[in-house]
Structure 1
Amino acid sequence: MIEDAKNIKQQETSEPKERFAKSMWAKMLAPEHLQRVESEVVERFVPAGSYACRKGDSVDHWMGVIDGFLKMSSISPEGKTITFSCMLAGGWFGEGSMLKTENRKYDVVALRDTRVAYMPRTTFNYLLDNSIPFNRFLLQQLNERLGLFISLVEFDRMLDTDTRVARCIAAMFNPYLNPGGGLQLQISQEEIGYISSVSRQRANQALQLLEKKKLLSVDYGGITILDLPGLRSFSSQFPD
């Protein structure tokens, strides 16, 4: 059964500075601004399979991943699950809804046990009003996210399955949207299937092809990227 994060007990399990260690924007803040953020952001533990937030919720927080793995998705009127993005440690999301003060347009579910940071709207607005570096970061992040969403339309409508898996994996290594990782990623084949909207078996077949092309290596419990530019430009319609 999927639970809501609001029904999950808040847990203060990490030091404030640890919560922002992998967040690009936090490193840009003036000390007094970061101090306020550290005192006002709360942390919650979201078990695997539970909602961090749901479509239709009021948007009262900007949210970030301290540790774990979240999937942003929605269900079409036809019942098809559409995955928009995945967030790893250091990734923050929901700034568009915060700026527009609208209800949330998507579900966010934990694919594994995840610690989520919740920044109140008042804190978010304080940074908008007082921090030029924070505003610059948001502009860049919104631009990166727009590019990602445009590419997702291409992935879903124009690309074959192997290419879609390659591009969806590559998208997780965006330095603005997911700044916390290196070229090794602890991710299961089932999780790759979730983010690519394919079955675990089909994801496995695509990974075997990408490994054969020397774009990545499949490790126990994860993958290692060997050629990120090649993964981003891969197309099985144009074989070597």
Structure 2
Amino acid sequence: MSAHLNRLLQQSLWTHCLTAAELARVRADIRQQLVPAGGFVCRNGEPVDHWHGVADGLVKISNVTSEGRTTSYQGLRAGGWFGEGSVLKTEPRRYDVVALRDTVVGCLPRNTFSWLFEHSLPFAHVLVKLLNERVAHIMTTLEQDRLLDPCTRVARTLAAFFNPILYAESDRCVKVSQEELGHLAGVSRQRVNRALHKLQELGILRSDYGVVTVLDVRRLACFEPLAGRQAEGNVQNVSTRFDALQLVPR
């Protein structure tokens, strides 16, 4: 097994709930996929044969409408898994997954995934939490596309990289360029630059070339350019949800 896949499995939350025999089967069956920047990890309409995890790099989950408009659903960095809902269904995939930089992906076969789902109750519980978090993220994305200003969109996009249900790592640094953030948040690189400067001035993060260090994840997750009681209420609501996420057993 490659070093990339070994690290992916070590830092994945769901592997910690498996028995030694179950983990051994996963390690024997998982395969590595190398995807160049701009290449497709998965394509809309393809059959779903694997569950995928990002071992190294960065991917964007998106779709293109019949009018040619691209909708970005989520960005995933190393340690994140995607597509469990698609694996559980028998229909073709309904979205594209594109590598924003050279990326290494772990591919767990559908048969192995289904075997774990049927034989491991702790694994099934983890999947329920993942699926529930996907629904919450989609709702946030819909709000983001319709209501939020560019700075808030950048803040929410960055905050998603530190969701404790999706990522086991507690490192507050993420390697991401302004161009990549723009692709994920659906804004221009210039607006990303302005947003990062504003968030840095507020003491929420520190922006360096190709790296963002988050100093306050809660403030990042609930950032909104609002004033008065409405903003305070939004901060309290999002902070309460983030605190609840931190209590999820790892």
TM-score under structure 2 length normalisation: 0.87
- Cα pair 1:89 1:180 within 8 Å, conserved: no
| Structure 1 gap segments, 5+ residues each | 1-11
Which residue of 188, 191, 195 corresponds with 2:177?
188
**Deviation for aligned residue 1:178:** 3.1
**Deviation for aligned residue 1:112:** 1.1
**Deviation for aligned residue 1:15:** 7.1
Q: Does 1:168 align with 2:157?
A: yes
Q: What's the secondary structure of 2:52's corresponding residue?
A: strand
Q: What's the secondary structure of 2:158's corresponding residue?
A: helix
Distance between the aligned counterparts of 1:208 and 1:228, measured in 2? Answer: 16
Q: What is the number of residues matched between the two proteins?
A: 229
Offset from partner CA, 1:92-135 (integer Å, 9 cap, x none): 11111111111111110111111111111110111011111110
Q: Does 1:207 align with 2:211?
A: no
Letter in 2 for 1:56: G
Q: What's the secondary structure of 1:112's corresponding residue?
A: coil
Q: Does 1:111 align with 2:62?
A: no
Distance between the aligned counterparts of 2:78 and 2:170, measured in 1? Answer: 7
Q: What residue is the counterpart of 1:5 in the other structure?
A: none
Which residue of 50, 55, 66 corresponds with 1:66?
55
Q: Does 1:139 align with 2:122?
A: no
Which residue of 65, 84, 95 corresponds with 1:76?
65
**Deviation for aligned residue 1:16:** 5.5
Q: What's the secondary structure of 1:105's corresponding residue?
A: coil
**Deviation for aligned residue 1:27:** 1.3
Q: Report which stretch shifted further, 15-24 or 191-200.
A: 15-24
- Cα pair 2:30 2:107 within 8 Å, conserved: yes
Q: What residue is the counterpart of 2:221 in the other structure?
A: 232
Q: Percent identity?
A: 45
- Cα pair 1:49 1:112 within 8 Å, conserved: yes
Distance between the aligned counterparts of 2:56 and 2:150, measured in 1? Answer: 29
Which residue of 163, 166, 169 corresponds with 1:177?
166
Distance between the aligned counterparts of 1:40 and 1:119, measured in 2? Answer: 7
Q: What residue is the counterpart of 1:126 in the other structure?
A: 115
Q: Report which stretch shifted further, 80-89 or 188-197.
A: 80-89
Q: What's the secondary structure of 1:71's corresponding residue?
A: strand
Q: What residue is the counterpart of 1:101 in the other structure?
A: 90
Once the two structures are superposed, the pairs formed by residues 18-97 of structure 1 within 5 Å of their partners are 18-97=7-86
Q: Does 1:156 align with 2:141?
A: no
Offset from partner CA, 1:183-204 (integer Å, 9 cap, x none): 1111100011011000111111
Instruction: Say if 1:156 and 1:93 are closer, same or farther in 2 by CA, change over 3 A.
Output: same
Q: 1 or 2, which has the higher helix percentage? A: 2
- Cα pair 1:29 1:133 within 8 Å, conserved: yes
Distance between the aligned counterparts of 1:43 and 1:120, measured in 2? Answer: 11
Q: What residue is the counterpart of 2:237 in the other structure?
A: none
Distance between the aligned counterparts of 2:8 and 2:225, measured in 1? Answer: 40
Distance between the aligned counterparts of 1:235 and 1:140, measured in 2? Answer: 27
Offset from partner CA, 1:139-191 (integer Å, 9 cap, x none): 00001111111011111111111111111111121122233451111110001
Distance between the aligned counterparts of 1:188 and 1:238, measured in 2? Answer: 30
CA RMSD of aligned residues (A): 1.6
TM-score under structure 1 length normalisation: 0.91
Distance between the aligned counterparts of 1:161 and 1:170, measured in 2? Answer: 14
> Hey, which bits of structure 1, 4+ residues long, moved more than 4 A?
none
Distance between the aligned counterparts of 2:183 and 2:218, measured in 1? Answer: 23
